[in-house]
Chain A
Amino acid sequence: MAGKTLYDKLWDDHLVKQRDDGSALIYIDRQLLHEVTSPQAFEGLRLANRAPWRIDANLATPDHNVPTTDRAKGIEGIVDPVSRIQVETLGKNCDEFGILEFKIMDKRQGIVHVIGPEQGATLPGMTIVCGDSHTSTHGAFGCLAHGIGTSEVEHVLATQCLVQQKMKNMLVKVDGKLGIGVTAKDVVLAIIGKIGTAGGTGHAIEFGGEVLQNMSMEGRMTVCNMAIEAGARVGMVAVDGTTIDYVKGRPFSPTGENWDAAVKHWRTLHSDLNAEFDKVVELDGSAIMPQVSWGTSPEMVADVTGNVPDPAKEEDPIKREGIERALKYMGLEANQAITDIKLDRVFIGSCTNSRIEDLREAAAVVKGRKVADSLMQAMVVPGSGLVKAQAEEEGLDRIFLDAGLEWRDPGCSMCLAMNADKLGQGEHCASTSNRNFEGRQGFGGRTHLVSPAMAAAAAIAGHFVDVRELLN
């Protein structure tokens, strides 16, 4: 008999009821809440006169709408009244139902997918949901974690369960060793470039192989974060010593006997050697180069040493039209060298790349250098108040400021431009975020997805440049 995959184990562990019609009730250990996708869920609870099932399974923080400047003013600092109401509404809802919230002035406030792991609120083996598609991030800890819609946020609040259909198993194996200057972000962009934005649809992806085994937790979070950009709601990495070391000693992590029992269980959270996957994709990690997205979908990526594609060479008519449309929106020419793309702004941040390691990676590149005069703005937005504090303790803020980058307060910021940080029409941005969709970072804005190191290098040069040249 075939063994179990990590996904099979997590599923079985949380199965409350298998229904005859193929659907199942799955128990949810943790729900993270933010201001954008929760107000209608709380309102639904009130209208149906229902109470949350288990208060202590929830953790909330405002992140999408918060400003990244003038934070001393608290909620009053949110200029847009509609944004302010949303943040206030989260506060009122959490207060009313007794849910723990890291409010805007709390130093633990940050992007939900940064603070969960940081606090130990994300523990291996958990089922974790949030009304945000990048909840796949938490799969880095051997969790079954995925984004849900607002109706399901309400469902989990009311029942602590979700109705699910079991997904298929997919393994993405990256072996070999990454070259210098090649990061987790490049790995996941290369994966999406290979399998496409629908390559993982209907599947739970486990990322494995030598590259993932050697990767830090921050790196694994970056990879799992973007599973959804490959169409998979769930991305996971097996638990190992790196995972357990990261979790130890965090505020919500177990201690004493509970810790020992937990570790014993966590050690089982990997796919069995004889587990069978429905789909397997393999990549050679040593062949991955720094990546840059040129189009309006995360699968539209190229090596930094490469060129923008030529639609005339694409045989599939739908794909050809997609490339043509993307080039037009992005204001790029077919066959143009990636390094000839000039930039207007640089954004280092988001739930993909705003953790301490990401900031160190960027700081190492800009240290002792200056941001190009041609750039309108280069900003660094740490993922949480605690990441910000640690970066300042390490002197990273000084490195960024001396180089001419802005050092901001934590939040989602320009990843989706719900706050005041956004691109102007036609502006090109080297961004460490996760989506290059049309208008994502601002009306008519043009996003290029890159790693923190590549974004930092682009800030110095004013156009894309192979970061490996700056590291030599």
Chain B
Amino acid sequence: MRAFTQHQGLVAPMDRSNVDTDMIIPKQFLKSIKRTGFGPNLFDELRYLDEGKPDQDSSQRPLNPDFVLNQSRYKGASVLLARSNFGCGSSREHAPWALDDYGFRVIIAPSFADIFYNNCFKNGLLPIVLEEKAVDQLFEEAEVSEGYQLTVDLEAKTVITPSGESFGFDVDDFRRHCLLNGLDDIGVTLEDAELIKSYENQRRKTAPWLFGAGQ
């Protein structure tokens, strides 16, 4: 996995709460058996005026001029500023894959849905929870000043504004460790293979019905 230590990037404010995973990447694009190539269909139904189809050249499609990412000032944005309960809905990892493929590295919101939040960390994408008041302030600043950038430091757990104001954020140690070092967490888990085997052997004795009964 790609490591994440620090990132500085252009901020795109998406002023809408409860952005669900169907909105992030609609179902017709889940038919791919790959992890890449979802970027052109990120927020497909909001971003384009027509109905998106898989394997279509999206560069020729009519854009919705009202959608934030279609405004030229947000071109190249890598920090998505969002509202509460971002990523609610399905478990599709295609949602973080699409955000990543588009070029986002950081998402800042007052709250995230659990499964989406977890999926981000598996893909080198950093979801940051800040207090509602702080997010409101960032929305105001990003909308007022064109070219507004934020600097995110995962080591220090801070988000720093252009004026130098710093907001601290929480992230649990294991996820932070994996992201900072770009670790494959399957490899980390397999370091405990003997422990897993001994748990399993014990369970075979105490709960044998869990192992292949009837299969």
Contacts and interface: CB of A to CB of B under 8 A. Distances in A.
A439 B209 contact: no
A154 B184 CA distance: 11
Contacts of B174: 19, 21-23, 163
Given A65-B31, A198-B84, A155 B185 contact: yes
A120 interface: yes
A253 B214 contact: yes
Interface residues of B, number: 64
B78 interface: no
A64 B195 CA distance: 36
A160 B195 CA distance: 12
Given A65-B31, A135-B91, 6 more contacts: A54-B200, A83-B31, A155-B186, A228-B115, A262-B207, A318-B83
Contacts of B96: 149
Interface in A419-472: 425, 435, 437-440, 443-444
B3 interface: no
A418 B30 contact: yes
A435 B209 contact: no
A165 B212 CA distance: 28
Contacts of A25: 189, 192, 195-196
A350 B193 CA distance: 38
Contacts of A23: 172-175
B186 A233 contact: no
Given A161-B189, A231-B114, A443-B45, A27 B199 contact: yes
Give the most central of A148, A154, A444: most B CB within 10 Å.
A148
B200 A123 contact: no
Given A152-B122, A322-B18, A158 B30 contact: no
A77 interface: no
Give the most central of B189, B195, B212: most A CB within 10 Å.
B189
B194 to A, nearest CB: 11
A336 interface: no
A78 B38 CA distance: 23
Given A133-B90, A231-B114, A21 B172 contact: yes
Contact of B22 (A120, A125, A438): A438
A147 B83 contact: no
A50 to B, nearest CB: 7
A29 interface: yes
Interface in B50-88: 51, 54-55, 83-85, 88
Interface string B78-117: 0000011100111111001000000000000001011100
A64 B89 CA distance: 16
Contact of B17 (A133, A318, A443): A318
Given A23-B172, A132-B91, A151-B93, A50 B186 contact: yes
Given A25-B189, A151-B122, A418-B28, A201 B89 contact: no
Contacts of A160: 196, 200
Nearest to A16: B199
Interface string A77-93: 00010110110010000
A201 B111 contact: yes
Given A151-B122, A163-B174, A417-B27, A17 B113 contact: no
B27 A418 contact: yes
A22 B173 contact: yes
Contacts of B40: none
B181 interface: no
Nearest to A127: B210
A437 B172 contact: no
B93 A149 contact: yes
Given A148-B115, A152-B122, A197-B85, A439 B186 contact: no
Give the most central of B122, B175, B209, B211: most A CB within 10 Å.
B209
Interface string B107-140: 0000101110011001100000000000000000
Interface in A385-436: 416-418, 425, 435
B114 A233 contact: yes
Contacts of A202: 114
A232 B88 CA distance: 10
Given A82-B32, A152-B122, A265-B207, A133 B196 contact: no
Task: Sort A-B residue pairs by CB-CB distance and give the 5 closest, nearest first.
Answer: A254-B209, A151-B122, A21-B173, A147-B91, A149-B93
Given A17-B192, A82-B31, A435-B22, A22 B172 contact: yes
Contacts of A123: 209-210
Contacts of B186: 48, 50, 154-155, 158-159
B86 to A, nearest CB: 10
B14 interface: no
Interface string A212-232: 000000000000000010011
A274 interface: no
Nearest to B123: A151
Contacts of A258: 208-209, 213
Interface string B21-36: 0110011101111110
A56 interface: yes
A23 B90 CA distance: 23
B20 interface: yes
A252 B210 CA distance: 10
Contact of B93 (A22, A64, A150, A437): A150
A197 B112 CA distance: 11
Contacts of B113: 198, 201, 231
